[in-house]
Structure 1
Amino acid sequence: MDYSKHQLPNEILLQLYKSMLLPRLIEEKMLILLRQGKISKWFSGIGQEAVSIGVTLALENDEYVLPMHRNLGVFTTRKIPLYRLFSQWQGKANGFTKGRDRSFHFGTQDYKIIGMISHLGPQMGIASGIALANKLRASEKVCAVFTGDGGTSEGDFHEALNVASIWKLPVLFCVENNGYGLSTPTSEQYNCENIADRGVGYGMESHIIDGNNIIEVYTKVQKLAESVRKDPRPILIEFKTFRMRGHEEASGTKYVPKELLDSWALKDPITNFKEFLVSEKILSEHLDEQFKNEMTHQIQEDLNKTFDEPIIESTIEDEIKDLYKDKIAISSSPATEKNNIRLIDAISEGLKQSMEKHKDLVVMGQDVAEYGGVFKITEGFVELFGKERVRNTPICESAIVSLAYGLSIQKIKAVVEMQFADFVSTGFNPIVNLLAKSHYRWGQEADVVIRMPCGAGVGAGPFHSQTNEAWFTKTPGLKVVYPAFPQDAKGLLIAAVNDPNPVLFFEHKGLYRSIYDDVPTNYYTLPLGKAATLKEGSDITVITFGATVHWALDTLNTLEEEISVDLIDLRSLQPLDTEAIFNSVKKTGKVIIYQEDSLFGSISSDISSLIMENCFEYLDAPVKRVASLETPIPFAANLERQYLPKERFKEGLINLAKY
């Protein structure tokens, strides 16, 4: 390994060596503790230390790093107290996740480190979001994100690099190519010679660096980072390296040919660098022994502190409380001055006033800029707010959701438009595994609103007509809002933007231009989680939301002489206004839940269960649910009518009244 071409001062060379030595000594200790059953799992980075340390030292301390599970050197180089790392690995209170996640699945704003989730790919999009914030603020900062050779096969990798290239985002995509994705060799992962070769396809500068040569890593990344600060752009860097242990300790290395392990052992980044420093009389054996003794002592001292720390305890109340970020949102009451406008106008107005209120709020989605979105919600926004804040995206739902989370890390709000709610499936992973769990896992809010044009009745067929709220009401950590009226839509959208937690905001396409309402002209909010009682009666409680609110009103108008009804428009599905539901059911004794979604596994099932568990003694009849057929939504008009539950609701209501 050639270290001779350098002009670094001796103190920097010693710093590089010591920075690699510390995580190696920690790892050796962790392997002992793993065998003793004192930690649960370990993902070793032995053999790859030069990459983590070189990249981290090449960055400024206030620049974000997004490591993976083999990048212990990132954490130690940023000088996180060792006892806190040890507490994290043992699930104790001094860790970063209150015992809720393990190993390196955490982040810390104090050290500008954003930890991984096991799904790997979203990490790339998060880095692009952080980089976008840096670019919007002209901060001349770069961020670096790590992945492995296996992670480059994920679609998120392509999406994030493609967006970063198009938007010229200042981010270093660092790929640690250690030859194996768990046990799968690179020959079975991709069919090009080098991962860096892909840079050409993205129109992106790329480099290959010897990942075991600490001087090469440090000096080249330092030079690239300085260049990116002055000329914002993404760079793909492939580090050729090798891990000397298994994917994790339980997997072993039997799948690796012995001669390959032996050849890489000769390239050990720490052993080779030490020999160079000794040969240059920069390091002596005595000084090296002193370093090791000091580090070993510090490791043991901090371990003892962690061992003495009590087992973490929590209450059910604390666990539930940490699901969402508890923050007083901006609130304002509706004014008396109103305009009679459509649902689509109210949503557009609410979004426009939110962008005026929050000067750095970013709106992203397919065709949302000059075109104004396929439903024209953002028409004219580019002229008002500019293309930096109203951003057309490629077709890459997953990366854009992750990118929005990256903006949130930098304290910038984001509203993401799914062109159709159906298309959210390609962005499902970062919503349910990243946004939803972020605050619970390590206290980081995910200040993202995802707008969801949804619903049937417009002959759009199986791929453009779903009302798929149940995909998300099941996931703790998400809020789900589904207004039926323009006044509610505006106030709830503004409240969703103000809320620091992830909100799925459903907008029924069939109501966009068919429903009018007197909507206050000012900036105002309505509380999330509060239902509206549209009619008051004594015979039956009707619980509904979205378009079925209007379908229910149409039906009830034909039966108002026969049946007295409490009509509840839920408005928010998560959190759910159980108080309003229970109070009404206790009054009427009968309840029918009416929704557009198909029945099985839907939110109506949970509402029915809640009523049975909390109001059973008040019921005079079984809880009735009315929903669409258990099929995809058909295209032909007569088939769509048959699929939807409009006719079945009237029949169910009459039968329930007779029960």
Structure 2
Amino acid sequence: MQFDRKGKDNAQLLAFYKAILYPRMVEEKMLILLRQGRIGKWFSGIGQEAIAVGSTLAMQSDEYILPMHRNLGVFTSRNIPLKKLMAQWQGKISGFTKGRDRSFHFGTQDYKIIGMISHLGPQMALADGIALADVIAKQQKATLVFTGEGATSEGDFHEAINVASVWNLPVIFLIENNGYGLSTPINEQFNCKHLVDRAIGYGIEGIQLDGNNLLEVYDTIDRVAQDIRTKPRPVLIECLTFRMRGHEEASGTKYVPQHLFDEWVIKDPVKNFEAYLVEQGILNEELIGTIKSEFKASIETEVEEAFNEAEPTANELAEEVDMYAPYQPEATAPGTAQSEKRYLDAISDGLRESMQKHPNLVIMGQDIAEYGGAFKITEGFVTAFGKERVRNTPICESAIVGAGLGLSINGYKAVVEMQFADFVSCSFNQIVNNLAKTHYRWGEKADVVVRMPTGAGTGAGPFHSQSNEAWFTKTPGLKVVYPAFPADAKGLLISAVNDPNPVIYFEHKYLYRSLSGLVPDGYYTTEIGKAKVLQQGKQLSIITYGLGVHWALEYLAKHPEISATLVDLVSLQPWDKDAVTNAVKATGRVIILHEDTLTNGFGAELSAWIAEHCFEYLDAPVMRCASLDTAIPMSKVLEEDFLAKKRLEEVVERILTY
């Protein structure tokens, strides 16, 4: 292994040696603790330390790094105390995740490190969002994100690099190619000669280097980072290395041919750099011994101190509260001036008011810029706010939601438009595992609103008409809103943007141009979690939301003889339990109406809650009126038969005669 010091003085090279030796010695201690049964799991990076250490040393201390679970050297090179890391690994209350997650599945704003989730690839899109925030803020910063050779097969890898390329984002995508994804060798993972060659397809620079050469890694990352800070663009770097231990210790290494160990053991990054420094006269046996003794003593002390840290104390309320970032909304009442507006225009107004109030708000989606979006909600926004904040995206829902989270991490707000709510399935992982869990795991907000044009009534068929709110109402950490009227649509969107928590904002396509109403002018908010009682009655209560509200209003207008209480939930997570309880008490008979399918629709949760908490007030079983348990057909005849509206009259008659 050839080292080139390139003008580095002895003190700097000695500091590099300490930086790469320390994580190796920590790893060796972890293996001892594992054999002693004092820890339960360890993902070893032995043999790969030069990549994590060299790249981290090359980055500025206030630049974000997004590592993987074998990059201990990133955390130690950013000077995170071992005691704090050990507390994290052992699930102590003093760890970064308070015992809620393990290993390196955490982030820390103090050290500008954003850890991975187990799905490997999604953090690459977060790097895009972090870098985008720097570009918009005119900060000359680079972002470094790690991935493994196995994760390059994931869609997140392609989407994130493609977005970074199209948007010229200063991101270093670093592939640690260690030959195996758990036990699967690279020849069973990809068929190109070198992973770095994939850069060609994205129109970006690709660099392959010896990942075991500490100075080569440092110099390459340093050069690239300096360049892209002033000339923003992504670069793909493939670091060739080898994992000398198992994927994690329990998996072993029997699947690896011995000759590979023989080849790579002589390329040990720590031993080779140490030998080089001895050759240069910077190290000698006595100094090496002194450094190792000091490290060993400090490691022993910090490890034992971490073991003595307190365990978490179970507290149901604290667990529930920590699912969401703390937030006390500042209510803004509407003014007296009103204008007649379509549902669609009210949403556009809410988005425009939010863009004016929050200069750090970025909206992203397919065709939303000059074209104005598929439904023209953002028409004229590019002229008003500029292309930096109103961004057309490639067709890559996962990367864009992830970029929204990255923007939030780096001080921005994001609104992401799904062209149709149905397409959100392509970003499902980012929403339910990244957005929803980030605050619970390590206390970081996820200030992202996902707009969801939803629902049937336009004959758009199975892939443009689904009601999929129940996918998200069961996911802790998300807020879900679903306005039925133009005034609420505007006020709720403003509230959703103000909220630092992730909000899934459903807006019904059928209502866009078919429904108008008086909408207050200017800026105002509508409270998330508060239902609206549209009328009071004594015979039955209908609890509904979205288009169901208008089905109920239409039905009751045709049947003035029925005295009904009608509740528009407005918000589905959180939902207004007091309003529901009062409706049950008022009539003793309850119909839950929604456009979604019957089985496991949101109405099932409402029905179960009412049965458990309001049983004494019921004079009849809670009845659900929902759509068929089928996909949504395109034909108008079939669609009308599918929708819950067709069954509303029959359900009302059944509950009144019970």
- Pick the TM interval, shorter chain: over 0.9
1:571 paired with 2:576, answer no
2:494 maps to: 494
AA matched with 2:77: T
Q: What's the CA shift for 1:360?
A: 1.9
Q: What is the 5 A alignment of 1:350-369? A: 350-369=350-369
Question: Within 1, Cα distance between the matches of 2:4 and 2:634?
Answer: 70
Question: Within 2, Cα distance between the matches of 1:75 and 1:344?
Answer: 48
Question: Within 2, Cα distance between the matches of 1:195 and 1:579?
Answer: 57
Q: Is the 8 A contact 1:38 1:90 kept in 2?
A: no
1:471 maps to: 471
Question: Within 2, Cα distance between the matches of 1:32 and 1:540?
Answer: 68
Question: Within 1, Cα distance between the matches of 2:4 and 2:338?
Answer: 75
Q: Is the 8 A contact 2:482 2:546 kept in 1?
A: yes
1:305 paired with 2:305, answer yes
Q: What are the superposed Cα offsets for residues 162-216 of structure 1, whole Å, 9 maximum, x if unpaired?
A: 0000000001000000001111111111111111000000001110010000010
Q: What's the CA shift for 1:655?
A: 1.5
AA matched with 1:350: G
Question: Within 2, Cα distance between the matches of 1:19 and 1:236?
Answer: 25
Give the TM-score, by structure 2 length.
0.99
1:400 maps to: 400
Give the TM-score, by structure 1 length.
0.99
1:656 maps to: 655
Q: What's the CA shift for 1:331?
A: 3.0
1:621 maps to: 620
Q: What's the CA shift for 1:58?
A: 0.1
AA matched with 2:493: L
Question: Within 2, Cα distance between the matches of 1:527 and 1:5?
Answer: 61
Q: What is the 5 A alignment of 1:171-190? A: 171-190=171-190
2:146 maps to: 146
2:634 maps to: 635
Question: Within 2, Cα distance between the matches of 1:402 and 1:175?
Answer: 19
Q: What are the superposed Cα offsets for residues 293-339 of structure 1, whole Å, 9 maximum, x if unpaired?
A: 11111111111211221222131111011010112234311111000
1:43 maps to: 43
1:157 maps to: 157
- How well do the aligned residues superpose, as a CA RMSD in angstroms? 0.8
Residue aligned with 2:506, SS: strand
2:266 maps to: 266
Residue aligned with 1:110, SS: coil
**Structure 1 residues 579 and 224: CA distance shift in structure 2, 3 A:** same
Residue aligned with 2:298, SS: helix
Residue aligned with 1:452, SS: strand
Q: What's the CA shift for 1:416?
A: 0.2
Residue aligned with 1:513, SS: helix
Q: What's the CA shift for 1:39?
A: 2.0
Residue aligned with 1:111, SS: coil
1:428 maps to: 428
Structure 1: gaps of 5 or more residues: none
2:63 maps to: 63
Q: Is the 8 A contact 1:629 1:643 kept in 2?
A: yes
Question: Within 1, Cα distance between the matches of 2:388 and 2:559?
Answer: 53
Question: Within 2, Cα distance between the matches of 1:335 and 1:467?
Answer: 33
Q: Alignment identity in percent?
A: 61
Q: Is the 8 A contact 2:495 2:525 kept in 1?
A: yes
AA matched with 1:435: L
Residue aligned with 1:428, SS: helix
1:243 maps to: 243
AA matched with 1:194: H
2:72 maps to: 72
Q: What's the CA shift for 1:40?
A: 2.3
Q: Is the 8 A contact 1:361 1:389 kept in 2?
A: yes
Question: Within 2, Cα distance between the matches of 1:289 and 1:174?
Answer: 34
AA matched with 2:528: L
Question: Within 2, Cα distance between the matches of 1:194 and 1:8?
Answer: 31
2:131 maps to: 131
Question: Within 1, Cα distance between the matches of 2:442 and 2:657?
Answer: 53
Question: Within 2, Cα distance between the matches of 1:170 and 1:530?
Answer: 42
Q: What's the CA shift for 1:7?
A: 2.2
Question: Within 1, Cα distance between the matches of 2:443 and 2:84?
Answer: 16
Question: Within 2, Cα distance between the matches of 1:4 and 1:628?
Answer: 69
Q: What are the superposed Cα offsets for residues 403-434 of structure 1, whole Å, 9 maximum, x if unpaired?
A: 00000001100000000000000010000000
AA matched with 1:612: A
Residue aligned with 2:510, SS: helix
Question: Within 2, Cα distance between the matches of 1:38 and 1:355?
Answer: 53
Question: Within 1, Cα distance between the matches of 2:345 and 2:92?
Answer: 50
Q: What's the CA shift for 1:34?
A: 1.7
1:199 paired with 2:199, answer yes
Q: Is the 8 A contact 1:541 1:592 kept in 2?
A: yes
Q: Is the 8 A contact 1:116 1:123 kept in 2?
A: yes
Between Structure 1 and Structure 2, how many residues are aligned? 658
1:234 maps to: 234
